[in-house]
């Protein structure tokens, strides 16, 4: 089912619009996401990159992910809000931070990934499948 959604950063400098069926929706518990969000995980929905548009000048910072592949974190240069994740191992997809969606109520994570790095004090939904690293694609 195609989902149409819009969103953006905290200050409104960056806006986006997507119409796509989510390919993956999950909570990433890797240490990089913990550091980047200041929380226990990053809730992301992955959609085809070609199915949306971004308005504004997103800045990306490349890091080497837990997988050993390059991961690019996209953020607003004005307010610093983290918005996107591009993974070298999934070049046709973009991950969108669920909290940046204008109406994030439809977001339903289907898995917890990188749980090997999850914090012991983080309560994860026991009904979601858990993957210690990236699940098989």
Structural domains of the chain, count: 1
Give the pairing type, strands 3-8 and 15-20.
antiparallel
Q: Please check whether residue 46 lies inside any domain of the structure.
A: yes
Whether the predicted pLDDT of 14 surpasses 90: yes
Q: Please check whether residue 127 lies inside any domain of the structure.
A: no
Q: Please check whether residue 137 lies inside any domain of the structure.
A: no
**How much is the pLDDT for 105?**
96
Q: What is the CATH number of the domain that holds 109?
A: 2.170.150.70
Q: Please check whether residue 19 lies inside any domain of the structure.
A: yes
Residue 30, domain extent: 3-122
- Which residues, 6+ apart, have CB-to-CB distance to 129 below 8 Å? 110, 111, 112, 135
Q: Please check whether residue 130 lies inside any domain of the structure.
A: no
Q: Please check whether residue 135 lies inside any domain of the structure.
A: no
Whether the predicted pLDDT of 75 surpasses 90: yes
Mean pLDDT of 29-33: 91
- pLDDT tens digit sequence for 81-103: 999 999 998 999 999 999 999 99
Mean pLDDT of 49-70: 92
Q: Are 58 and 83 in contact (CB under 8 A)?
A: yes
Q: Count of alpha carbons within 13 Å of 128, Cβ hemisphere only?
A: 18
**How much is the pLDDT for 69?**
85
Between 65 and 125, the higher pLDDT residue: 125
Whether the predicted pLDDT of 137 surpasses 80: no
């Amino acid at each position: 089912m195609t989902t149409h959604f819009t969103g953006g950063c905290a200050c409104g400098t960056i806006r986006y619009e997507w119409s796509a069926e989510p390919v993956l929706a999950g909570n990433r518990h890797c240490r990089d996401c913990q550091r980047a969000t200041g929380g226990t995980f990053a809730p992301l929905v992955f959609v085809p990159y070609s199915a949306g548009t971004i308005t504004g000048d997103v800045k990306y910072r490349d890091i080497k992910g837990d997988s050993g592949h390059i991961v690019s974190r996209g953020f607003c240069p004005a307010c610093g809000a983290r918005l996107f994740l591009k993974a070298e191992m999934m070049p046709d997809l973009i991950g969108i931070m669920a909290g940046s969606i204008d109406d994030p109520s439809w977001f339903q994570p289907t898995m917890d990934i990188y749980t090997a790095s999850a914090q012991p004090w983080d309560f994860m939904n026991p009904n979601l499948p858990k993957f210690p690293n990236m699940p098989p694609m």
